[in-house]
Chain A
Amino acid sequence: MTCDEAQILLHALLDNELDAGHAREVEAHIASCPACTAELAAQREMKRVLADTKLRYTAPAGLRARIEASMPQARPQPSRRSVLRGFAMGSAVSALAASGVVAVVLRQDDQQRILSEVVSAHLRSLQAGHLIDVVSTDQHTVKPWFNGKLDVAPPVIDLTAQGFTLVGGRLDYVDARAIGAVVYRRRQHIINLFVSQTASTEHRPPKTQTMQGFNCRRWGERGLNFWAVSDIGGDELTEFVDKFEAAMKANVEG
């Protein structure tokens, strides 16, 4: 091997780009050549200094934002921000949950996004003082309380006899809209039943999804969308929804 060749190959040696055979050849030459030995040492030293120096640049935040803005967006996302704002104000409970929710909220599929907002609203409600706006176990107190606050009258049904205690109602925000939440308790577990208006009057059978360890059962009935969210088991939540639906049917018919 000539010095000219070695002077090029020693860089590949430094960069670990040579296979074992070539590496041995280069090393053999360098061992017998003081000039190449010096060059290798000098280059190694320079590489070391370079590695210790911050030579990378960081892209300005404005550039990142402009690139993001130039890409197709799913839809304007005020609701996503409002969810995050909810967390920003939240307690340790929500701070803990926020990291997970943020990742989930960024999944833009519409159903998925609303589900994650519903779960976020549920989480928010568990913070001290956020659960209930009107405290009452009496459906005749809770139901009128919603009057004038929503464009919809959420059915408020007492299920205490069926094992789910009505504890009150609350206004919440999901998908950038005010939404009614009727709160039930099962043992120590809270069930939030979110109710919003929908254009569709057809019956959509209940379906359970899980997000962040919460079960959410959603269905549609008589122009209303329902989401029942809780940390109780899927079977208990199904039982709750079945009883609620049965009672609602009886109310309408009765």
Chain B
Amino acid sequence: MPVSDDFQKAQRFREAALPYLDDVYTLARYLLRDASDAEDAVQECYLRALKHFDSYRGPAMKPWLFAILRNVCNAEYARRAHSHAAIEDTPGAADQTPMWQESEASPETEVLRSRDAGAIRKMIDALAEPFKETFVLREISNLSYREIAEAVGAPVGTVMSRLARARAMLRAAWTAEEEHSK
């Protein structure tokens, strides 16, 4: 009976995928920077995931859902069209600013002051893609480098350099803001 098959599939999907709803929503919030766009994207992500659940053989559920969410978000970027680059590498983006420019400037034993979550979220939001995505997947979604590589379809080496770059940018923004608020 197709009805009960469908239902059983949905039931298996529910058990496998719904526990990651907060993870998927978190990533969507950072990628799209908008609560209601994020909700739409997550819903679309789960719809697509259920549709393709038959062919799902791994990797782990979380990176698989993230890969689907990325596609949904890329479509959303395209829709927004203006100025917003997709997650894909923008050519030359990495060359526009020297990678470690801020390290000579920063004092050697600098201690970052804790900030409230809102301020830090804003700084993360301001990171450029694809660095932000890699950073969020590692630091907030807790994926391993290999899982990030799977989710974004890039080699592990690229993940490493993006992550280094993202953290350098975040720290630069962080110290700049502290200088500013002194």
Contact = CB atoms under 8 A, between A and B. Distances in A.
B68 interface: no
A104 B83 CA distance: 52
B114 A52 contact: yes
Given A8-B161, A41-B109, A53 B117 contact: yes
Contacts of B140: 55-56
Interface string A182-206: 0000000000000000000000000
Interface in B158-182: 160-161, 163-164, 167-168, 170-171, 174
B76 to A, nearest CB: 16
Contact of A50 (B13, B139, B164): B139
Interface in A29-69: 34-35, 37-39, 41-43, 45-47, 49-50, 52-60, 62-64, 66-68
B90 interface: no
Interface size class of B (residues with CB under 8 A): 35 or more
Nearest to B144: A17
Contacts of A89: none
B22 A56 contact: yes
Interface of A: 4, 7-12, 15, 17, 34-35, 37-39, 41-43, 45-47, 49-50, 52-60, 62-64, 66-68, 70-74, 108
26 contacts: A7-B100, A7-B164, A8-B161, A12-B145, A15-B145, A17-B144, A17-B145, A41-B108, A43-B171, A46-B112, A46-B171, A46-B174, A47-B139, A55-B120, A55-B139, A55-B140, A57-B22, A57-B25, A59-B22, A59-B25, A67-B18, A68-B14, A70-B43, A72-B7, A72-B9, A74-B4
